Structure 1
Amino acid sequence: MTVLDARTLNRATLARQHLLERGDASVPEVVAHLCGMQAQEPQEPFIGLWSRLTDFKPGQLDDALIGRTVVRTHLMRRTVHLVAADDALAWRARHDGMLRQRVLGTYRRELAGLDLDEVAAAGRAVMADQRPRTMRELVQALEERWPDPPHRALGELLVAALIPMVQLPPRGLWHRTAGVRNLPLTAWLGRDIDPLPADDDDPVGRRLLRRYLAAHGPAAAADLRTWCGLAGLPAAIKAARDELVVFRDERGRELLDLPDAPRPHPDTPAPVRFLPAFDNAILGYHDRGRIIDAPHLGLSVAGHRAVLVDGRVAATWTVRDRRLHITPLRPLTASERDAVHAEAQDLTTFLDEDIEHIRLDTQD
């Protein structure tokens, strides 16, 4: 069985994430291809799209949100994701159990004894007037009936698990600061959520697997599980196995992939790219060694924005005091520093935040 080293896996990831070469797809198309983008920090997807698309303009994502072709919703790993509207409807039922389990795992004591179906029905009844509400407003409408659970616990149960919701614009629009107003997904899109088929081979899971591999493969079953948060996918993987090719990584893990998916030569040049916080190019794997070194794994879950140099996380970046501040994680060569600075200049133009200086630190 062919063994794929970390560099080969890196180039495959970059190619499928549109980080090896910027693409010209529309915003809804690239969001769908990526299987969604983490979006708990509302402005971060703009940076992720700028790094992936040629001539990306913030208004393109604004138009997609306002036009309801992409939505902000709790989905993979119970985190807020920017996802294509069709995917939100197709995938939500498959994620319901996981979303409930994760909220209950966080607030097990506070929510003990609640009849979840009863709470969900009451919440849907409140939202039936299709009036957008904050999480607090929704909980206040129900607190006479359930006065004991803390507002935060009951609110997260309703909004992040029991009732499929979208976070409405202007939340998530370019350079807009807005609180979260929720509306049921079906009310916002005017369509029903796809029911979960009862087939033994889990067709929704099979489609999810293939979509994940198109954006993240080659990957192990553990990588898929880490990305989506779903534990019950063995049947889908078993059913799809004959449609896939199999490799191993240097640790001996079995890697699955689509036969015709791009796997560039490991020596393919990789340009400098600036990634937003919590980008799934890093977080979408159980084994993140293909793109980030072990000593720096904590950065990927702590909200640090990353700079890719030769395809790997080599620096972090932030904007403060009107300065784009870049902190290398390893010594950079003169040519690498030049490439980082050039991409940083383009980024400052895109951010349009009156940035006066680019500070690139050195590491001896």
Structure 2
Amino acid sequence: MTVLGTRALNRATLARQLLLDRVDLPALDAVAHLGGLQAQEPQEPFTGLWSRLRAFDPAVLSDLLTGRDVVRTHLMRRTVHLVTADDALTWRARHDAMLRQRVLGTYRSELAGVDLDELAAAGRAVMADGVPRSMTQLAREVAGRWPAPGARPLGEMLVAALVPMVQTPPRGLWRTKGGVRNVPLADWLGRAADPPAPDGTDPVGQALARRYLAAYGPAASADLRAWSGLAGLPAAIAAIREELVTFRDERGRELLDLPDAPRPDPDTPAPVRFLPAFDNAILGYQDRTRIIDDAHRGLSVAGERVVLVDGRVAATWSVEEDTVTVTPLTRLGRSDRSAVTEEGRELAAFLSDDASRRVRIAPSPR
């Protein structure tokens, strides 16, 4: 079985994640291809798409949100994702059990004795008036029946798990601040999420596996689980295994992939890219060494924005007043610093419409 080294996996990931070359792709199609963008920080998806799409117009993504073509909702890993409306409707039921278990993992003792089906019915009854509510507002309206758990456990269980919700604009619009207000997914999109397959098969799980490999492969089943948060996909993978090709990584793990998906030459040049916080190009794997050193793995879950140099995480970045500040994690050579500065200026202009914003690169660590 062919062994794919770290650099080969890196270039494959960059190609699938649209980070090897910016592409001419509509924003809606990019969101669909990527399987959504992690979006608990509401402005970060704009940077994520800017780094991937040629001539990206952030107003287009805002229009997709207000037009209800994309939605912000709890989905993979119980985190807020920006996904297409079609994917939200198709995928949500497949994530229901995982979402419940993840909230219970945090609040099991607080929610002990609460009938979750009754809680869901109460939440739906409150939301039936069509008024968007914050999680706290919703929780307070049902807390009279369940006073013991407190508002936060009730609210998180309702909003993140029991009642499929979307976060309504202005939350998530370009350069717009807005608190989280939730409405039921079915009300926002005009139809309920698709029910599970009645015959016990898992067509949604199989489609998820294919979609994941298209955007993240070659990858191990553990990587798919890490991205989705779903434990019950071995049967789905088994059902499509004959469609797939297999490799090994340098650790000996079996990697699965679509036969015609791009796997560029490991020596393919990779441009500098600025990634937003929580970008799935990093978080979409259990083994992230293809793109980030283990020593820096914590950055990806701490909300740090990172810079890719030669395809790997080499620095973090932040914006302070009129300056984009880059903090190297390793030594950057002169040509790398020049490339980081050039891309940083483009990013600064995108974020502010002000081409005069500066890029500052801090000294490299010794």
* Interval containing the TM-score (normalised by the shorter chain): over 0.9
SS at match of 1:12: helix
The CA deviation at 1:200 is: 4.4
Letter in 1 for 2:34: L
User: Which digits, 9 at most, give the CA deviation of each residue in 1:71-102, with x for residues without a partner?
Assistant: 00000000000001000000000000000000
- Report % sequence identity: 69
The CA deviation at 1:199 is: 3.9
Residue in 1 aligned with 2:337? 337
Residue in 2 aligned with 1:132? 132
Large movers: runs of 4+ above 6 Å? none
Letter in 1 for 2:211: R
How many Å separate the matches in 1 of 2:153 and 2:218?
Answer: 38
Letter in 1 for 2:358: H
Residue in 1 aligned with 2:159? 159
Letter in 2 for 1:217: G
How many Å separate the matches in 2 of 1:250 and 1:258?
Answer: 20
Residue in 2 aligned with 1:25? 25
The CA deviation at 1:353 is: 6.9
Structure 1 unaligned regions, length at least 5:
none
Residue in 2 aligned with 1:267? 267
The CA deviation at 1:224 is: 0.3
Residue in 1 aligned with 2:226? 226
How many Å separate the matches in 1 of 2:89 and 2:104?
Answer: 23
SS at match of 2:166: strand
The CA deviation at 1:202 is: 1.4
Letter in 2 for 1:357: R
How many Å separate the matches in 1 of 2:350 and 2:321?
Answer: 17
Does the 8 A contact of 1:6 with 1:249 survive in 2?
yes
Letter in 2 for 1:241: R
The CA deviation at 1:192 is: 2.0
Residue in 1 aligned with 2:37? 37
The CA deviation at 1:322 is: 2.5
Are positions 1:106 and 2:106 aligned together? yes
TM-score by length of 1: 0.98
Letter in 2 for 1:361: A
How many Å separate the matches in 1 of 2:167 and 2:353?
Answer: 25
Residue in 1 aligned with 2:362? 361
How many Å separate the matches in 2 of 1:199 and 1:298?
Answer: 42
How many Å separate the matches in 2 of 1:66 and 1:166?
Answer: 12
Letter in 1 for 2:19: L
SS at match of 1:132: coil
SS at match of 1:166: strand
Residue in 1 aligned with 2:14? 14
SS at match of 2:359: strand
Trace 1:203-218 onto structure 2 (pairs within 5 A).
Answer: 203-218=203-218
Letter in 2 for 1:176: T
The CA deviation at 1:170 is: 0.1
Structure 2 unaligned regions, length at least 5:
none
Residue in 2 aligned with 1:75? 75
The CA deviation at 1:321 is: 3.5
Residue in 2 aligned with 1:58? 58
How many Å separate the matches in 2 of 1:121 and 1:12?
Answer: 45
Residue in 2 aligned with 1:328? 328
Residue in 2 aligned with 1:305? 305
Letter in 1 for 2:320: R
Change (3 A) 1:25 1:188: same
The CA deviation at 1:201 is: 4.2
Does the 8 A contact of 2:348 with 2:358 survive in 1?
no
Q: State how many pairs are aligned.
A: 364
Are positions 1:253 and 2:253 aligned together? yes
Residue in 2 aligned with 1:284? 284
How many Å separate the matches in 2 of 1:228 and 1:335?
Answer: 38
Does the 8 A contact of 2:322 with 2:358 survive in 1?
yes
Letter in 2 for 1:17: Q
SS at match of 2:332: coil
Residue in 1 aligned with 2:148? 148
Residue in 2 aligned with 1:294? 294
Letter in 2 for 1:9: L
Letter in 1 for 2:10: N
Change (3 A) 1:199 1:362: farther
Does the 8 A contact of 1:201 with 1:235 survive in 2?
no
User: Which digits, 9 at most, give the CA deviation of each residue in 1:145-190, with x for residues without a partner?
Assistant: 1112111111000000000000000000011111001000010001
Letter in 2 for 1:141: E
Letter in 2 for 1:196: P
User: Which digits, 9 at most, give the CA deviation of each residue in 1:167-226, with x for residues without a partner?
Assistant: 000000011111001000010001221111144441110000000000000000000000
TM-score by length of 2: 0.98
